[in-house]
Structure 1
Amino acid sequence: MGVNIAAINMEWLLEYLDKNLEDIKGDYICVSNVHTTVTSYEHPSYCSIQNGGLMAIPDGGPLSSVGRKRGYQNMERTTGPSLMGEIFEISAEKGYRHYFYGSTEETLELLYKKLNENYPGIQIAGMYSPPFRPMTEEEDKAIVERINEVNPDFVWVGLGAPKQEKWMAEHQGKIDGLMLGVGAGFDYYAENIKRAPEWMQKSNLEWLYRLVQDPKRLFKRYLVTNTKFIWNAMIRGK
């Protein structure tokens, strides 16, 4: 459907990031799912953003399932929240520094507290909740300087798709850290919402768990985008 989804698994990704982190700072990783893939298929400019970063990883189970059917047997679902957890686990040992851009002040406060409780020794270089309006050029320049001053390794961007991917693309080469758009990842680690049980994640049913949690917002999205994905990627083979 036009998006260059990386045919990877978590083990490969963690090894890649560890070996290449210094060289890939300033770039971004898209955490891609059915919704972002269908949006990319319908909007070429957004597709260019998905393909314009370091890679687009298969957050959505259907993406890795299609990849395996097309011959990439080692491809596995690599979710944003799972990647966050894997990196948080080794952060104290590796000395990784983290910056969190997005969400609300309340969620960031909770996130700070929970991360320090659950990952002793984690270095949180900074956090920023941007205003719910377009930022001025001066404001944007100031936040870029603020982020770069604290020298983060990872800049986690939680603005939701497609806003977070657009923000990362606009700041490619300007931010001195690896940017990753992780959607609801902030809420998971702030413990505002719970992730699906492991068996649902492995069965590609995490979308159903999220739907039950937030049916009003997600029902139409899942109904429309899932149908379009099944038709285009699975039936038509695009």
Structure 2
Amino acid sequence: MNCEYQHKVNKKEIPVCNILGVNIAAINMEWLLDFTDKNIKDLSGDYMCVSNVHTTVTSYDDPDYCAVQNGGIMAIPDGGPLSSVGRKRGHANMERTTGPSYMGEILKISAEKGYRHYFYGSTEETLEKLYKALNENYPGIQIAGMYSPPFRPTTPEEDAAVVKRINETKPDFVWVGLGAPKQEKWMAAHQGIVDGFMVGVGAGFDYFAGNIERAPEWMQKCNLEWMYRLIQDPKRLFKRYLVTNTKFIWNAVVRGK
């Protein structure tokens, strides 16, 4: 994380609720879209975390990752339990604000606003499907570029070449789909180096490429999207949900941390 980075947007204007040490933005989608529209140029070089129970509990256990979560312009409440805790703590307007939903809202207005998008992460196959789907579903979208990084750590030379490649395309948004905690650490390491507003959207690339389906809207509204994802990928998610959800309930809900 770039400790010397100076945010061009005043973070004090963003309402937050501290949950397990993470300053979760006490906002809703309408507020976030208005904030983005007013500040997109000044958000270039900065990043936004899309936070859920898993990332928040991980931050509680790992001070370095907590600093990464708090080091961007904000951490939005992607997980329903975060916004529920926030409302119980007095933030009446705090609502679940997911990364894929934010990405979708931005894509809808991109042609009108002239936004340029760069996509960093996932596989070549998924990026090809994503490119096709975005052009079909969002006529006039400007895809500045796409890059599927290697699964091994990159060398400093490789990283510098990728940064140069991204910056030459002059993107407004750099969508990062590496999964947590990798994507947040990547954004923090490139704060003030990569041009464009970096947003870590996890499985967002897969959703928009059509690789996996999002939960029905009624499940999303009832904070049950985690259950839908668990049914889709039980081997990977069962242990994570069991451990992190239990820790979250005990520490954030029962103990009030």
Structure-2-length-normalised TM-score: 0.92
Give the aligned partner of residue 74 of structure 1: 93
Compute the displacement of 1:24 (Å).
1.3
Compute the displacement of 1:152 (Å).
0.2
210, 229, 234: which one pairs with 1:210? 229
Structure 2 regions of 5+ residues with no counterpart? 1-19
Residue deviations 1:37-62, cap 9 Å, x none? 00000000000000000000000000
> In the alignment, does 2:151 pair up with 1:136?
no
Aligned equivalents of 2:159, 2:242: Cα separation in 1:
36
RMSD in angstroms over aligned alpha carbons? Answer: 0.3
Amino acid at match of 1:170: A
Residue deviations 1:146-191, cap 9 Å, x none? 0000000000000000000000000000011000000000000000
Aligned equivalents of 2:94, 2:153: Cα separation in 1:
38
39, 58, 65: which one pairs with 2:58? 39
Amino acid at match of 1:230: I
Compute the displacement of 1:96 (Å).
0.3
25, 28, 34: which one pairs with 2:47? 28
Give the aligned partner of residue 85 of structure 1: 104
75, 80, 103: which one pairs with 1:61? 80
Q: Quote the sequence identity (%).
A: 82
Amino acid at match of 1:147: I
Give the aligned partner of residue 2 of structure 1: 21
Aligned equivalents of 1:136, 1:176: Cα separation in 2:
20
Give the aligned partner of residue 171 of structure 2: 152
Aligned equivalents of 1:181, 1:11: Cα separation in 2:
19
Give the aligned partner of residue 123 of structure 1: 142
Give the aligned partner of residue 210 of structure 2: 191
Aligned equivalents of 2:183, 2:42: Cα separation in 1:
22
Aligned equivalents of 1:21, 1:91: Cα separation in 2:
12
Residue deviations 1:93-128, cap 9 Å, x none? 000000000000000000000000000000000000
More helix by share: 1
Amino acid at match of 2:111: A
Structure-1-length-normalised TM-score: 1.00
Aligned equivalents of 2:43, 2:98: Cα separation in 1:
20
Aligned equivalents of 1:22, 1:205: Cα separation in 2:
35
Secondary structure at the aligned position of 1:196 is classed as coil
Moved over 6 A (4+): none
Give the aligned partner of residue 117 of structure 2: 98
Secondary structure at the aligned position of 2:133 is classed as helix
Aligned equivalents of 2:79, 2:210: Cα separation in 1:
21
> In the alignment, does 2:158 pair up with 1:177?
no
Amino acid at match of 1:80: G
Aligned equivalents of 1:189, 1:225: Cα separation in 2:
27
Amino acid at match of 1:69: K
Aligned equivalents of 1:85, 1:136: Cα separation in 2:
33
Residue deviations 1:185-205, cap 9 Å, x none? 000000000000000000000
